[in-house]
Each structure stands twice: as structure tokens, then as C-alpha cells.
């Protein structure tokens, strides 16, 4: 009788019949399934009945909404953190490539100017193959072009400052020096006509014409 009265009470509270809920089995400490006790079953039924009430559904809706909002914020934070790390990685990679590029240009410029220093210190060769330091990063004649020469001079200026003692040179200073250095007449005087082949002289002349063109463009720009 008491059980019936209790059942009727909870049915009145939640507006649902108790018999809708079968008595489930639960796992004991040994991992075995066993029938719920009356007390466990009563609590189980009350919980199930409560879960169907408007109050529960409202609370559950708020809980789910709050949980989704928390998940959304977490995703935004995770995405922002990933973007920050990616920006940092790209920046470090850019700096690494920049340092590598600077070292490469410095090395190429040191080789270029070093060969010219040796040339100016040596006596004019009477015969044999001459070493011409072509003014491009690779140092190879096949890579000579207006773009390559301009890039080499400007990159060297940016990475080295192209210092001459304590006096730093400008791009115009470099072109002025190189224009004299690569003049065909100067080359003939330096190496001798009997030493320079027609092919090498053509290459030197082509370099001079490119530098002369860059020099003219630079002077025109300074006038504006």
C-alpha cells in the first residue's frame, strides 16, 4: 500500500506513470549485472521522470547552450593560438631565409671584390687565361643580364653597406666605380689585347653597356 501511495505521489508530481520505466540492471563492484534494489529503482524512476519535465528540459537546454558556447570559445582560442604560432613560424622561417640570403650575397660580393683586388695588385699577364669576375651573384658569365647585375649591386649594398674604409658607398657610387672598371678600354689596358679573346672582350663590353645604362637611369632619377 505504501509503495502504491509513493508511486501515486511521484506520478502526481511529474505527471507520468511509473510503470513506463522498467527496472534496469546495474553493474556491481565485481562488474556483474544485477537487479536494482527498490531504493535504487525509486531514485532511477524519479530521475527519469524529472528528465521529462519542463524544468529539467529548460535547465538541460541552458547547460547544452553553455557547453556549446564554452566549446566555441575554446575553438576560437585554439584557432587564435594556432594562427599565432603559424605567424611566428613563418616569421622565423623568413628571418632564416633572409640571414641565409644575406650570407650568400656577402660571400659572393667578397669573392667578387677579392678577385678585383688581386687583379689590381698583379702585373699585366703576358699570356694565358685571365680570370674575369663577372658582376652577378653566381660569378658566371652565362648568368649576366641587366636584372642580375642590378640585383647583385643593390643586394650587396643592402647586406654589406659596401663600405670602403669608414666611408659607405651609395648605389650611384657603386655604378660609378663599376662603370670605370668595366670600360673596354680599361680592360685592354689592364689585361692587354693579346691576352683578351674576342669572346671575352664582347662579354666585358656587354657588361659595361649594362652598367652604363644603369648609371644613366640612376642619374636621371637623381634629377627628379
Cβ neighbours, 10 Å, residue 14: 18
3-state secondary structure of 122: coil
User: pTM for the complete prediction?
Assistant: 0.59
- Residue spans of the domains in the chain: they are 2-52, 102-223
3-state secondary structure of 136: coil
> Strands, DSSP E only, in the chain?
25-27, 33-35, 163-164, 167-168
List residues bridging with 113 in a β-sheet.
none
3-state secondary structure of 47: helix
96-140: pLDDT as tens digits? 888 888 899 999 999 999 999 988 887 666 656 788 999 999 999
3-state secondary structure of 78: helix
DSSP symbols for 185-220 = HHHHHHH-TTTS-HHHHHHHHHHHHHHHHHHHHHHH
pLDDT band at 57 (very low <50, low <70, confident <90, very high): confident
Report how far residue 14's alpha carbon sits from residue 158's, in angstroms, rounded to the nearest whole number: 82
60-108: pLDDT as tens digits? 788 888 899 999 999 999 999 999 999 999 998 988 888 888 899 999 9
162-192: pLDDT as tens digits? 544 434 578 999 999 999 999 999 999 988 8
More confident residue, 210 or 53: 210
Calculate the alpha carbon distances from 54 to 58, 61, 77 in Å: 6, 10, 34
Cβ neighbours, 10 Å, residue 160: 16
Rounded to the nearest 5 percent, the helix, strand and coil shares of the chain are 70, 5, 25
Amino acid 181: pLDDT:
95
Q: Which three cell numbers stand for residue 133?
A: 669576375
Amino acid at each position: 500500500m505504501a509503495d502504491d501511495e509513493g508511486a501515486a505521489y511521484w506520478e502526481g508530481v511529474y505527471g507520468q506513470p511509473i510503470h513506463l520505466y522498467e527496472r534496469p540492471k546495474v553493474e556491481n563492484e565485481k562488474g556483474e549485472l544485477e537487479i536494482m534494489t527498490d531504493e535504487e529503482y525509486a531514485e532511477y524512476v524519479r530521475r527519469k521522470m524529472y528528465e521529462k519535465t519542463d524544468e529539467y528540459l529548460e535547465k538541460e537546454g541552458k547547460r547544452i547552450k553553455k557547453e556549446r558556447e564554452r566549446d566555441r570559445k575554446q575553438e576560437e582560442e585554439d584557432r587564435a593560438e594556432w594562427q599565432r604560432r603559424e605567424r611566428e613560424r613563418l616569421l622565423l622561417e623568413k628571418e632564416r631565409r633572409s640571414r641565409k640570403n644575406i650570407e650568400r650575397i656577402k660571400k659572393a660580393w667578397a669573392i667578387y671584390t677579392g678577385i678585383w683586388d688581386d687583379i689590381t695588385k698583379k702585373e699585366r699577364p703576358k699570356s694565358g687565361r685571365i680570370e674575369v669576375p663577372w658582376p652577378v651573384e653566381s660569378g658566371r658569365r652565362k648568368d649576366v643580364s641587366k636584372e642580375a647585375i642590378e640585383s647583385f649591386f643593390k643586394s650587396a649594398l643592402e647586406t654589406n653597406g659596401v663600405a670602403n674604409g669608414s666611408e659607405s658607398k651609395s648605389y650611384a657610387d657603386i655604378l660609378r666605380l663599376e662603370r670605370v672598371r668595366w670600360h673596354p678600354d680599361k680592360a685592354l689596358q689592364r689585361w692587354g689585347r693579346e691576352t683578351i679573346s674576342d669572346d671575352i672582350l664582347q662579354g666585358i663590353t656587354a657588361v659595361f653597356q649594362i652598367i652604363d645604362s644603369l648609371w644613366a637611369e640612376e642619374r636621371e632619377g637623381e634629377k627628379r
